[in-house]
Structure formats: C-alpha cells, structure tokens
Structure 1
Amino acid sequence: MNLWSTGNNTWTNYPNLNPKSLSFLSLGKGSRQHNMGKVYGLYECAGHVVPCLVIVKVGKPTECARPGNCGKCELQIVMTHFLNKVYFNSPMNPMELEMYHQIKNAIGVNPTFYESLFTVNANTAVELLSVNCLISTSFCRMIHNKKVLGICGKTELTNAKKSIITMMQYTCTNYVDTLHMKNLLLLGENCYLITLLLKHYPLPKAQMIRNAHAYTVAPSDWKTLLSQHD
C-alpha cells in the first residue's frame, strides 16, 4: 500500500471517480475525534494501472482552516487500527470498510495476507534497495526471534547546515543522556515511534538496520518547525 502524489496522472476508482467522504475516528477527544476522508483505489500512469491505496483526509464540512489535518501520526493510527480489525475480524467504521473493499476487490489482495507495514514520510527519500534490505532482514530476524516487534533503518538530514533552525535541531545535544532524549533532539520524531513501542511493549524488541538509509529535510524556519507540533 503506497501513498503517492497524483501529479498529472489519474486515480481510478471504479465505478466512482469522485468518492464520497467517509467517517473515521481521529486523534483528539469528544467531537474532535470525528474526521472524514476519501479512499482512492488504482493509480493510472501512462496507460499502466498501479495497485495502491490512497486516503485523502478532508475533514468535517464545518472545518474551514486545514480541514482534516490532525498530523502525520494520524495515518499510522488509521492503518494500525484497520489492520487490527482485519486480523481480529472486528467491526469497521465506514472508511475502513471502503479501504477493505478497495484492497480486496480493486487491488485484488486479501488484507489478511499483509505481513509487514512500511512507513515513511512524504518528504523522505529512501535509498535504492533499502526497502528490499529492510524487508528481507526483518523477515529473517522475526522468524528466528519472535520478540522482534519492528525494524527501522537510518534516517539522515540533507539540510543540516541550511539555516540556524536546522543546525539547532541537529546539534542541540549537550544534555542528551538517554535514548529518549536522543530520539527527540537528534533523530527526530520519525524515530520516536520506536521509543513509544518499547515503552508500551517492554518485552518485544526493536532493531535497526544500518545498511537501510533514508534522507529527509528538516524544517528550516520557525513557522514550519512550530507547525510540526500542531
């Protein structure tokens, strides 16, 4: 399941080219938990149809500013909730039902067949063959060690010296004395997910594959940096 930019190409959602907005539970409390999104199926490029699934968060009709935007961590929650319901055959909300339909009927793969979940930010470039390295290594390690919960690669900055803002994010390590602080100040929130997994699931293990590289761009101005925490 991939998340791609549409560009000048077209999304194919048979038989509906403009799917309706569907409800799902989001981040927040009370009424703020209600969010809405559109589910798109096959991606057509130069006559070739690519099997993938895209979720566009559109928000509630009453939202005006940044509708549906509850942060990039929300999509991880959406996918993990969906897969959890698939594996345990639990009731699904309207958007999850459409996701299930698109994966099974449009893409042609039963969602229960998925064995791993690979996540990456839209502004992150993955080095050639790194995904292959992650998948092959993770399966090998998980087969031989049932305690391995997840595996990550190494993410580096491409603009560490672009501005004082990027240098602050990369070099602010004077008081780093725990892995938790290193994740927050040096490695960024991309690796903070691993910290949360280890916190809530202390018995399983998380491992790192140094040969799998990715490169990301850190916010270079205050406005963008502060928006990361909205």
Structure 2
Amino acid sequence: ITCYNEDEETLRRTLDSIAQTNYANNRKLAFIVADGEVSCAGDHRTTSEILRGLITKIPTEKPTRPLPYIAIGEGPREFNAAEVIPGVYKSANGASTPCILVLKVGTKLERRTDSPKAGNRGKRDSQLIILQWLKNVLMNNHLTPLEFELCRYASQLARLNPDQFEYLMMVDADTQIDVECIARLVAAMERDAGIMGLCGETRIANKTASWVTRIQVYEYYISHHLSKAFESLWGGVTCLPGCCSMYRIFSRKAAAGSVVPLLVSPEVLCAYSSTDTHTLHQKNLLLLGEDRYLTTVLLRAFPKRKMMYVPRAICRTTVPDKFSVLISQRRRWINSTIHNLLELILVTDLCGTFCCSMQFLVLMDLLGNVVLPSSVVFLYYLIIAECLGHPVALPLMLMALTFLLQGIMILITTQRVVYIYWMLIYILAIPIWNFVMPLYAFWRFDDFSWGKTRMCGPEADRTTFITEEERLALEPIPLRRWKDWMRDNLHRLNQD
C-alpha cells in the first residue's frame, strides 16, 4: 500500500477495506509504505504520523530507528533512510490484519534541516523497496539492514518465510477494495499458472462530486469492460492499474523443484529501477506512469505469460473532482501510454500472428491515441456538412450505431439503466476526452512534473539533501546474507 499525502479518513477507509475482505487475515500481510514526511492540506500531521496512530505496534527488542538504503534517484537523491515498524491494524468491525510500516524519513541532513518532503522519492521507489527485498530473499542475495528487519518482522507476523510469499497485491492508499476482491484475484491465479499479473474493475467512489467526476464514470467503465476485457482475450492487458493489481512473485517448476522469479526477476527490476532518463522517451516511461511501465517490462521479459482482467474483482477509487487536476493527471497518462505502446510494438513474441496478434492490437491502439483529435475535427465536419445539406448521413449513422450497440450490450450484460445516463454524459464530453486532453498532453510532451495531481505544500530543495562532503563520509551500507544477519542479531541479544 503506497501512501503519500492522504488524510486519516482516506487511509482508514483503505485499510478497513483490506482488513474486512473475506480472505483470511492470517494469509495476508500488509506492507504500508509512506513516501516521505509529507502532510495533507489542512492537517498538520504527516502521513507517517497518521499511520503510526492507526496501527497497534508490536513490541520489539529495541526501539526502531531509520535504516539507510539506496533509493531511486540521481545524485543526492539516491540516498535515503526508512524506519520499519511491525504492527496490527484493527478495523471498525474488529478484523485484525498484520502489517509492517515502512516510513521513508530521509537522510540525516533532511531530518536535521526539516527539509520539506523529507524522504520523498516517489511511488516507484516505494514499490522497489519491497520488490528488491523479495528478490534478494528469493535468490538468497545479500540483504541490507532495512531488508533484514523486513525479513524478521515478516516471518514473525506471517509465520512464514518471506521466500514463500507467492502473490503481491499493489493498492493505492485512496482505493477501497470489495470484500471478495482478493479472493477472486487469488482464485484466478490458482486456476492458471501461466498468469503473472491481474487487475480487477476500478469504479469511481465519488461519482457525483462534480461535473468533472461525472464525465469520468463511463470512461472508467469502457476502459475496463471494453479495452481491458478485449486485451484479456489475448492474455496481454497492457496496463495493470496501480490502484489495485496482483502479481505472481515467482513460478514453480514442478519437475525441477525450483522456482522462476517473475515480478522480482533481475531483468524486470533492473529495467524498472533504472535512473537513466537522458531522453524524452525514457523520461516519459520512468517519470510519469510507473504502473503501466511495470506492465510493459513484465510483458517484454515474459511475453508468453498472461496479463488478465478479472471483472468481478472490484475496487473503488477517488478521482479528481477539479478539471485542472484531471487534465494534469490525463496528461501524464496519455504521454505514458504512447511511449509504453512504442515499447510494446518492439516485442515480437506476444500472442498471435500478423493482424491477429497482440502486437498488431498495440499498433492500432497507438494509432488510435495519436489520431483522436483529428477524429473529433472530422466528426464536427460531418455534422456541419449535414446541416449544409451535403449527403454525409451514412458515416454519422455509423458513429451513432457504435454508441447504440454499446448501450444495448450494457443493458444486456449489466441490466442497469443508469449506465445509459453515464454514457450520454460521456458523449457530451467527447470533445474534452478526444480533443482537449490529447492536444494538451501532446503539447506538454516534455513536462515530467506531476502538476496539480498531488499538491500538498512547498517543494523541497532537491539539491540540498546531502552535501558532497557528507557523501564521501558516508559509511557503506552493510550487506550480509540472511543467516549472517541472524547470527549477528542473536549474538547482540545474548550480549544484552
């Protein structure tokens, strides 16, 4: 669960939804990663402080302290520290879920100077703390002190060695999952060993908050029930959303009795943790849409495995209710989509051949995204031509028939007339979706900021996290294998 600047109510709703699922609490372990000392607007407390108050901490042999690790970043941003706190979250109905807090607190200089957003390194870095740890455990690599603490507490809470964890579910801190969501995703994984990633349907929690949220309802619906459902037929969903997706950590080889790393394979993590952003293409891949890029990397590394969509695994997320925030979000999504599709076109081993292949579908998807603005211009041209008496009724009728068929299929499959209402609102907003947003995104292809999507206070001075003298004075982070860490830990306990 990756957190940034969410308020207490939002965090509590998300954690409650996870704790109250019908999947056994002794079979799940929540990793909650707070991305820096960031506070929500209107609240003096940081996200880390809120999370500390939400969980019941488990007593430890000694007080927890910040442990250094190598973060995702260039220059001074490659250094960071995080505190690991084991605990239990108790929901409103009494359900208890074991959890581990990973609170990124920043370097000593950041903490000493009260730097804004101390420890903030981005969502990708939060994910990679867990992914790199799982890789090192699974492959018996050397562990950092931070990873050793994760091993100790994970073994204690889950009563299972971390190298036996099979599935990793990623949930955003502003997303609530349904009661059956985890069980349905796990069941799909168990039925088909060839699946390496799954996502469910994401619905909007604040549908009627404003006109901005209303125009997004049907767009979310068709992006899942049309786009992802069709891609799932080919076993190649091109984007598993970060708000709620599940991945297979490794695959078992029955004959050899060994395992094959999937999500935590060195090839995947090497590409996903890259800081090489010297071209426009690389920056759009790595800095804007980490969730889509992770899917791209997995498909590129394992093109014969499946990425699937499970429509009955439902989650609900809070979407932007202001147009300035929405267009900033979609700018990132559109630009990230185009560059990720360019990457997938080069993968020749995807399912199918020639026109009946996933590679061809990716090409059509890419072309469709690029020509969206011209399609709106053509639509208005046809409408004006028809009003002037030119015989262009046939293409207009075909366009209308497209939406009519969608409406019929919705009524047949969902039997909910309300979606026709949302479809009509979406049709009225087509100029915004297909003209304004793509043109805005294309015009700002070289803008890699997160814009107004996550406004929470003053930006940190990212050049003062650590001085060159302090960099040279830093002691190297100790690396040891699991058994060596355990031996040293037992030795210290005996001395105490």
Query: Given the two structures, how large is their TM-score scaled by the length of structure 1?
Result: 0.77
- For 1:129 and 1:106, how far apart are their aligned partners in 2? 23
Aligned-residue offset at 1:80 = 1.1
More strand by percentage: 1
Q: Which residue of 2 aligns with 1:115?
A: 166
Aligned-residue offset at 1:123 = 0.6
- Is there any run of 5+ residues in structure 1 with no aligned partner, and where? none
Counterpart mapping for 1:31-70 below 5 A: 31-43=76-88, 50-63=97-110, 64-70=115-121
Aligned-residue offset at 1:108 = 2.9
More helix by percentage: 2
Match of 1:74, SS state, is helix
- For 2:159 and 2:81, how far apart are their aligned partners in 1? 25
State the identity %.
24
RMSD: 3.7
Greater Rg, structure 1 or structure 2? 2
Match of 1:156, SS state, is strand
Deviates more, 1:24-33 or 1:156-165: 156-165
Match of 2:30, SS state, is coil
- For 1:220 and 1:122, how far apart are their aligned partners in 2? 17
Per-residue Cα deviation, 1:60-105 (whole angstroms, up to 9, x for no partner): 1222111112222322211111111011000112211111111124
Change (3 A) 1:9 1:130: closer
Counterpart mapping for 1:1-230 below 5 A: 1-3=29-31, 5-7=51-53, 9-16=55-62, 18-43=63-88, 50-63=97-110, 64-105=115-156, 107-142=158-193, 145=194, 148-160=195-207, 162-163=209-210, 166=213, 192=292, 193-221=294-322, 222=324, 226=451, 228=453
AA partner of residue 65 (structure 1): P
Query: Given the two structures, how large is their TM-score scaled by the length of structure 2?
Result: 0.39
- For 1:9 and 1:79, how far apart are their aligned partners in 2? 20
Aligned-residue offset at 1:157 = 2.1
The total of aligned residue pairs comes to: 219
Change (3 A) 1:23 1:165: farther
- For 2:125 and 2:212, how far apart are their aligned partners in 1? 26
Match of 2:169, SS state, is coil
Deviates more, 1:60-69 or 1:45-54: 45-54
Are the counterparts in 1 of residues 124 and 290 from structure 2 also a CA contact under 8 Å? no
Aligned-residue offset at 1:219 = 3.1
- For 2:106 and 2:54, how far apart are their aligned partners in 1? 24
Are the counterparts in 1 of residues 68 and 79 from structure 2 also a CA contact under 8 Å? yes
- For 2:130 and 2:452, how far apart are their aligned partners in 1? 23
- Is there any run of 5+ residues in structure 2 with no aligned partner, and where? 1-28, 33-50, 232-237, 245-288, 330-450, 456-496
AA partner of residue 71 (structure 2): S
Match of 1:152, SS state, is strand
- For 2:77 and 2:119, how far apart are their aligned partners in 1? 10
Change (3 A) 1:155 1:201: same
Aligned-residue offset at 1:183 = 5.4
